[in-house]
């Protein structure tokens, strides 16, 4: 019995001595795993910092400048560095107004004629350095041997149609009290007024004319503001500004979702669990309520016969003969509707300029030689200008005619090269001199 007790005691002693060894071994394994996780996390952070530093040196992640806007649909981020590589190359910065322009004061300098230029990406001119845009070249030319000091401000915003430019004038430009407003009118502007942006996450207001009233439909914008995508852009705006990796990935995801069907299919199938978790996260973020635009910004009463549809003589003259097929007839009718809205917007802008004691000029941009409907829009604008007292500068006539797919030294692809900006600048300068503005 004593021998059995002795054996039992020895076994128990061995078990007690083995337990600390097992506990020590388990702790060593846990400690090793924790150290591995720590060093792996540290390595990932170092790699991210390294990539962020390389992106900063190469100015990568500086091409996303869009933010949601409750009135305009979207606008430019303020005080945002821009490095543009899609066509041409430039480095610049938006100012505190969100314009790709040098900083300026709301109060106009004494003894200065202030000119504000409205437009889209053709006017923004991200493809060239700011000093080579036609707005800056125009300012330089106007101030050459002039008794009057001119200040030309580039107030254009990328992707805008004429309607958004009108709203931008009322919201951002009218308080600057310009003496002259130049609206650049380009191919596609009339489409932008009435058609939604297909496949884009940043919708815009759409315009119509009814019973002599110009109306902005904000339904798509309001729907966008209530979406998780809008929450993402609004909540992570500062992070997008400060983290280049995040900005690049955000833009890449947006571009692929808008243009690559394979990527869309992949994200829908393989990304379902992640998408669900991400949407759950976004849904818990505070709702960003849009500041509802003032009602007077969304409707505009047009006096008199402002509608293109009432200009029967021009419509019949522009067609020359009755359309021979239903497709052609529908194309003409659609173009008439687009011009109707575009002319209403330009007339409304002209009235607003008159009320603010400034002069409106409309500068028409160049187009391909087969842009039949665009040239009809220009003819309609000329008739409206004669009737309503604003000026047309047919800058398109100063550009050599270009056929589809034809390369030109004046264009990178869709947008102006430095040579193109020079032609546009000279055309507008001559138009202003012809109108005998004080010089």
163 contacts 147 by C-beta, under 8 angstroms: no
Enumerate helices (H) and strands (E) in the chain, giving the number of each: 16, 12
Residues 6+ apart with CB under 8 A from 239: 246
- The per-residue pLDDT for range 80-121, each reduced to its tens digit, is 989 898 899 999 999 999 999 999 999 999 999 999 999 999
What pLDDT does 211 receive?
Answer: 80
Spatial contact of 119 and 165, defined as CB atoms under 8 Å apart:
yes
346: CB partners within 8 A, 6+ apart: 162, 183, 185, 362, 381, 384, 390
Nearest to 242, CA basis, from 389, 117, 80: 80
Tell me how far CA of residue 377 lies from CA of 318, 337, 339, in angstroms.
10, 11, 6
Using CB atoms within 10 A of its CB, is residue 298 exposed (0-12), middle (13-18) or buried (19+)? middle
The C-alpha R_g of the chain, in whole angstroms, comes to: 30
The closest of 140, 139, 59, 150 to 111, measured between CA atoms, is 150
* Token representation of residue 56: 């900063």
- Tokens at 14, concatenated: 């061995």
Strand pairing report for 149-154 and 180-185: unpaired
- Are 297 and 214 in contact by the 8 Å Cβ rule? The answer is no
| Phi, psi dihedral angles at 180 (to 5 degrees) | -135, 135
Is the separation of the CB atoms in 399 and 422 below 8 Å?
no
Instruction: Tell me how far apart the alpha carbons of residues 36 and 17 are, in angstroms, rounded to a whole number.
Output: 29
- CA dihedral sign of residues 269, 274, 279, 282: negative
Sorted by where each starts, the structural domains of the chain and their CATH numbers stand as 81-224+296-434 (3.40.50.1110), 227-283 (no CATH)
* Helices 326-355 and 372-388, packing angle to 10 deg: 40
For 203-314, list the strands marked E by DSSP: 206-210, 213-217, 299-301
Backbone angles phi, psi at 207, to 5 degrees: -120, 150
Residues 167-203: tens digit of each pLDDT: 999 999 999 999 999 999 999 999 999 988 765 557 8
Length of the chain: 439
Task: Give the per-residue pLDDT at 265.
Answer: 72
Q: What is the pTM of this model?
A: 0.82
DSSP 213: E
Which stretches of the chain drop beneath a pLDDT of 50?
Answer: 305-321
| Token representation of residue 278 | 């991400």
Beta-bridged to residue 149, according to DSSP, are 112
The DSSP-derived string for 126-184 is TTS-GGGSHHHHHHHHHTTT-SSEEEEEE---TT--HHHHHHHIIIIIGGG--SEEEEE
- What 8-state DSSP symbol labels residue 91? E
For residue 52, list its beta bridge partners. Answer: none
């Amino acid at each position: 019995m004593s021998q059995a007790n002795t054996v039992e005691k020895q076994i128990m002693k061995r078990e007690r001595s083995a337990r600390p060894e097992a506990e020590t071994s388990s702790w060593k394994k846990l400690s090793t795993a924790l150290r591995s996780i720590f060093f792996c996390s540290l390595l990932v952070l170092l790699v991210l910092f390294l990539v962020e530093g390389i992106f900063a040196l190469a100015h990568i992640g500086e091409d996303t400048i869009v933010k949601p806007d409750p009135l305009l649909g979207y606008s430019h981020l303020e005080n945002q560095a821009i490095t543009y590589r899609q066509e041409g190359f430039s480095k610049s910065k938006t100012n505190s107004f969100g314009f790709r322009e040098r900083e300026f004061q709301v109060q106009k300098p004494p003894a200065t004629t202030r000119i504000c230029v409205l437009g889209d990406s053709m006017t923004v001119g991200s493809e060239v350095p700011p000093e080579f845009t036609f707005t800056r070249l125009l300012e330089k030319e106007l101030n050459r041997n002039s008794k009057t000091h001119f200040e030309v401000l580039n107030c254009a915003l990328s992707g805008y149609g004429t309607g958004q430019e009108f709203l931008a004038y009322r919201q951002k430009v009218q308080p600057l009290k310009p003496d002259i407003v130049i609206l650049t009118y380009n191919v596609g502007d009339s489409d932008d007024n009435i058609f939604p942006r297909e496949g884009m996450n940043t919708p815009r207001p759409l315009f119509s004319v009814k019973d002599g009233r110009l109306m902005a439909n904000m339904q798509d914008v309001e729907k966008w503001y209530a979406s998780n995508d809008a929450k993402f852009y609004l909540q992570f705006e500062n992070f997008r500004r400060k983290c280049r990796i995040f900005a690049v990935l955000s833009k890449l995801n947006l571009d692929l979702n808008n243009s690559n069907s394979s990527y869309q299919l992949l994200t829908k199938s393989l990304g379902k669990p992640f998408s669900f978790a991400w949407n759950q996260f976004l849904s818990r973020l505070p709702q960003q309520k849009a500041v509802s635009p003032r009602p007077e910004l969304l409707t505009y009463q047009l006096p008199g016969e402002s509608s293109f549809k009432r200009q029967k003589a021009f419509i019949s003259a522009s067609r020359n003969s009755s359309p021979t097929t239903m497709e052609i007839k529908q194309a003409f009718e659609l173009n008439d509707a687009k011009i109707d809205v575009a002319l209403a917007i330009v007339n409304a802008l002209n009235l607003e300029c008159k009320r603010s004691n400034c002069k409106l000029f409309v500068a028409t941009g160049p187009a391909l030689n087969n842009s039949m409907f665009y040239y009809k829009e220009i003819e309609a604008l000329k008739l409206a200008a004669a009737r309503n007292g604003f000026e047309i500068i047919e800058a398109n006539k100063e550009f050599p005619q270009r056929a589809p797919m034809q390369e030109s030294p004046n264009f990178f692809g869709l947008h102006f090269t430095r040579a193109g900006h020079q032609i546009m600048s000279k055309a507008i300068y001559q138009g202003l001199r012809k109108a005998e503005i004080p010089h």
